């Protein structure tokens, strides 16, 4: 496996790290000052979720979901702000609008929402509705990565591997891939296998490469399965 294969493999994995578009849970929907306000915000959020999925007697209706998420967002719910960003990003019931998606992701990110921070990283990394800016992408990935987002940790590792927005640094790439891999993130496990196979920033070690490819395979990564079989056939 050569560096070109590594770049191609990680590019595929990066593209698969799509926008985290699942409706978030509402464990602590907002910070209103009264119990009644908190209850109302939770009701707004849960009503939005019901319309989003078409559950609990509500028809699936993204327009209504957006309406109720907006009401919860106005009460300070970071989850609601995040989900409004998803609705605008995907154009669910409304025309797709990256500017509004970015607006709501930024609102949620400012409250420490890791999923929103990751999504902003994706937008800047790929130039979705913004000028492509790897430095800003790294900034947002790092914010999310430090909160434990495996996808952000992996994408940060890719930036260090490729020298996008940072100096190329295999040690940092390995650090972030290991963080994601420890959470069972298959793309990161595969990437570590490639690094050990090619000796990127470390001594070449086919046995360790096989171990990481095996872990990636166990977590559903077909490339990891293929590389594991090849190394097994070679006697490692």
Full DSSP string of 105-130: HHHHHHTT-HHHHHHHHHHHHHTSSS
Same domain (yes/no): 5, 46? no
Same domain (yes/no): 13, 44? no
Predicted local confidence at residue 181, as pLDDT: 97
pLDDT band at 225 (very low <50, low <70, confident <90, very high): very high
Q: Structural domain of residue 4, as residue ranges?
A: 1-21+137-236
Does an H or E element contain 84, and which?
helix 78-90
Q: What percent of the chain has pLDDT over 90?
A: 82
Same domain (yes/no): 195, 181? yes
Tokens of 1: 């496996």
* Residue 141: CB atoms within 10 Å: 30
Let me know: does 83 contact 116? Beta carbons within 8 Å.
Answer: no
Predicted local confidence at residue 34, as pLDDT: 55
7/215: higher pLDDT: 215
- Going from the C-alpha of 97 to that of each of 6, 79, 89, 107, the distances in angstroms are 34, 19, 6, 16
* Domain-terminating residue out of 56, 78, 112: 112
Same domain (yes/no): 101, 162? no
* Domain-terminating residue out of 79, 112, 145: 112
Predicted local confidence at residue 1, as pLDDT: 53
The mean-pLDDT minimum among 21-30, 122-131, 150-159 falls in 21-30
| Residue 100 within a domain | yes
Give the mean model confidence (pLDDT) for residues 132-160. Answer: 96
Give the mean model confidence (pLDDT) for residues 43-56. Answer: 93
| Residue 194 within a domain | yes
The number of distinct structural domains making up the chain is 2
Residue 119 predicted with pLDDT over 50 = yes
Same domain (yes/no): 162, 221? yes
Predicted local confidence at residue 10, as pLDDT: 54
Same domain (yes/no): 14, 83? no
| Residue 44 within a domain | yes
| Residue 158 within a domain | yes
Task: Render pLDDT for 149-172 as a digit per residue (tens, 0 to 9).
Answer: 999 999 999 999 999 999 999 999
Residue 32 predicted with pLDDT over 60 = no
Q: Which letter does DSSP use for residue 153 in this model?
A: H
| Residue 182 within a domain | yes
Q: How far apart are CA 153 and CA 13, in angstroms?
A: 13
| Residue 117 within a domain | no
Same domain (yes/no): 94, 42? yes
Place of tokens 């009401």: 71
Give the mean model confidence (pLDDT) for residues 119-133. Answer: 94
- What's the chain's average pLDDT? 87
Same domain (yes/no): 74, 34? yes
Same domain (yes/no): 7, 38? no
Which domain CATH number covers 102? 1.25.40.10
Same domain (yes/no): 66, 160? no
Predicted local confidence at residue 6, as pLDDT: 52
pLDDT band at 38 (very low <50, low <70, confident <90, very high): confident
Task: Render pLDDT for 63-113 as a digit per residue (tens, 0 to 9).
Answer: 999 999 999 999 999 999 999 999 999 999 999 999 999 999 999 999 999
Let me know: does 206 contact 213? Beta carbons within 8 Å.
Answer: no
Predicted local confidence at residue 39, as pLDDT: 83
Give the mean model confidence (pLDDT) for residues 200-220. Answer: 96
| Residue 3 within a domain | yes
Same domain (yes/no): 89, 147? no
Same domain (yes/no): 175, 188? yes
| Residue 53 within a domain | yes
pLDDT band at 35 (very low <50, low <70, confident <90, very high): low
């Amino acid at each position: 496996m050569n560096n070109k294969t590594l770049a191609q493999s990680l590019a595929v994995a990066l593209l698969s790290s799509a926008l985290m578009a699942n409706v978030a849970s509402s464990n602590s929907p907002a910070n209103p000052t009264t119990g009644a306000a908190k209850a109302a915000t939770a009701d707004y959020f849960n009503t939005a979720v019901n319309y989003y999925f078409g559950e609990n007697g509500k028809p699936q209706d993204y327009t209504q979901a957006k309406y109720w998420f907006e009401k919860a967002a106005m009460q300070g719910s970071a989850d609601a702000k995040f989900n409004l960003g998803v609705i605008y990003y995907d154009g669910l019931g409304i025309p797709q609008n990256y500017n509004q998606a970015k607006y709501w992701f930024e609102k949620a990110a400012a409250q420490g929402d890791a999923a929103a921070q990751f999504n902003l990283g994706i937008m800047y990394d790929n130039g979705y509705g913004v000028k492509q800016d790897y430095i800003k992408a790294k900034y947002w990935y790092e914010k999310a990565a430090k909160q434990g987002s495996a996808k952000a940790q992996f994408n940060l590792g890719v930036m260090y591997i490729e020298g996008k927005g940072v100096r190329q640094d295999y040690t940092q790439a390995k650090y972030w891939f290991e963080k994601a891999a420890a959470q069972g993130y298959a793309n990161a496990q595969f990437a570590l296998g490639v690094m050990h196979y090619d000796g990127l920033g470390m001594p070449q070690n086919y046995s360790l490469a096989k171990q990481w490819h095996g872990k990636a395979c166990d977590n559903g990564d077909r490339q990891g399965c293929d590389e594991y079989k090849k190394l097994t056939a070679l006697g490692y």
